[in-house]
Amino acid sequence: MNLNELEKTANDEQKKVPSDLEHNIDTLINTLAFAENLKSRKESHKLGNQMKWLSMAATFVLVIGFAWLMLSKQSEPKDTFSDPREAYAYFSSTMNRIASEFNDGMDKANAAMSTIKTVMSNETK
Amino acid sequence: MKKLVFLMFAFIIANSGQAQVGKEFSNKYSGSEGVRITYISSGIFDMMGQEIKDAQFGNISLESFQGMSVIDCDDSATIKRIKKDIDLKIQNEYELLIENKEDDKCTRIYRTKTKKRTDTIELIVITEEPEDINIVFIDAASMKKSKK
The reply to whether residue B13 touches residue A74, judged by beta carbons under 8 angstroms, is no
- Return the exposure string of A22-53: e unless at least 16 CB atoms fall within 10 Å of the residue's CB, then b: eeeeeeeeeeeeeeeeeeeeeeeeeeeeeeee
Q: What's the pLDDT at A92?
A: 87
- A70 with A84, same domain: the answer is no
Q: CA-CA distance, A125 to A114, in Å (whole number)?
A: 17
Would A88 be classed as within a structural domain?
yes
CA torsion, points B25, B27, B30, B32, in degrees to nearest 10?
A: -70
Cβ-based contacts of B5 with chain A (< 8 Å) = 59, 63
Nearest to B40 among A91, A96, A99 (CB): A91
Would A10 be classed as within a structural domain?
no
Q: How far apart are the first and last CA of chain A?
A: 147
Mean local confidence (pLDDT), B44-56: 66
- A47 with A89, same domain: the answer is no
The reply to whether residue B39 touches residue A66, judged by beta carbons under 8 angstroms, is no
How far is B100 from chain A, CA to nearest CA, in Å? 5
**Cβ contacts from A onto B, under 8 A:** 102
Nearest to B16 among A56, A74, A94 (CB): A74
- A84 with A69, same domain: the answer is no
Would A59 be classed as within a structural domain?
yes
Residue A124's domain spans which residues?
79-125
Q: How many helices (H) and strands (E) does chain A have?
A: 3, 0
The reply to whether residue A94 touches residue B127, judged by beta carbons under 8 angstroms, is no
Per-residue pLDDT of chain A (125 residues; tens, 9 = 90+): 688 888 877 777 666 777 888 888 899 999 999 999 988 888 888 888 888 888 888 888 888 888 777 766 567 778 888 888 888 899 889 988 988 888 888 888 899 999 999 998 988 87
Cβ-based contacts of B40 with chain A (< 8 Å) = 79-81, 87, 90-91
Cβ-based contacts of B96 with chain A (< 8 Å) = none
CA torsion, points B44, B49, B51, B52, in degrees to nearest 10?
A: -20
pTM of the model: 0.64
Would A8 be classed as within a structural domain?
no
Q: CA-CA distance, B69 to B39, in Å (whole number)?
A: 4
The reply to whether residue B40 touches residue A56, judged by beta carbons under 8 angstroms, is no
Question: Is residue A120 classed as helix, strand or coil in its secondary structure?
Answer: helix
Nearest to B47 among A63, A73, A84 (CB): A84
Number of domains in chain A: 2
Residues in chain B: 148
Please report, for chain B, the start and end positions of each structural domain, with discontinuous segments joined by +.
20-147
- A27 with A39, same domain: the answer is yes
Contacts of A79 (CB under 8 A, 6+ apart): A87, B39, B40, B41, B43, B44
- A95 with A119, same domain: the answer is yes
* Dihedral angle sign, alpha carbons of residues B81, B84, B89, B94: positive
Cα–Cα–Cα angle for B56, B59, B61, rounded to 5 degrees:
35
Q: When comparing pLDDT for A13 and B18, which is higher? A: A13
Contacts of B8 (CB under 8 A, 6+ apart): A63, A67
Cβ-based contacts of A91 with chain B (< 8 Å) = 40, 65, 68
Would A4 be classed as within a structural domain?
no
How far is A86 from chain B, CA to nearest CA, in Å? 10
Q: How far apart are the first and last CA of chain B?
A: 41
How far is A78 from chain B, CA to nearest CA, in Å? 7
Residue of B nearest to A96 (CA): B57
Chosen for mutation from A54, A63, A94, A106 (greatest number of chain B CBs closer than 10 Å) is A94
pLDDT at B36 exceeding the cut of 90: yes
Chosen for mutation from A53, A54, A75, A76 (greatest number of chain B CBs closer than 10 Å) is A76
Q: CA-CA distance, A88 to A69, in Å (whole number)?
A: 34
Q: When comparing pLDDT for A88 and B4, which is higher? A: A88
pLDDT at B148 exceeding the cut of 50: no
Give me the interface pTM, i.e. the ipTM: 0.77
What backbone torsions phi and psi does residue B56 show, to the nearest 5 degrees? -110, 140
Q: CA-CA distance, B77 to B34, in Å (whole number)?
A: 9
Contacts of B94 (CB under 8 A, 6+ apart): B110, B111, B112, B113, B122, B124
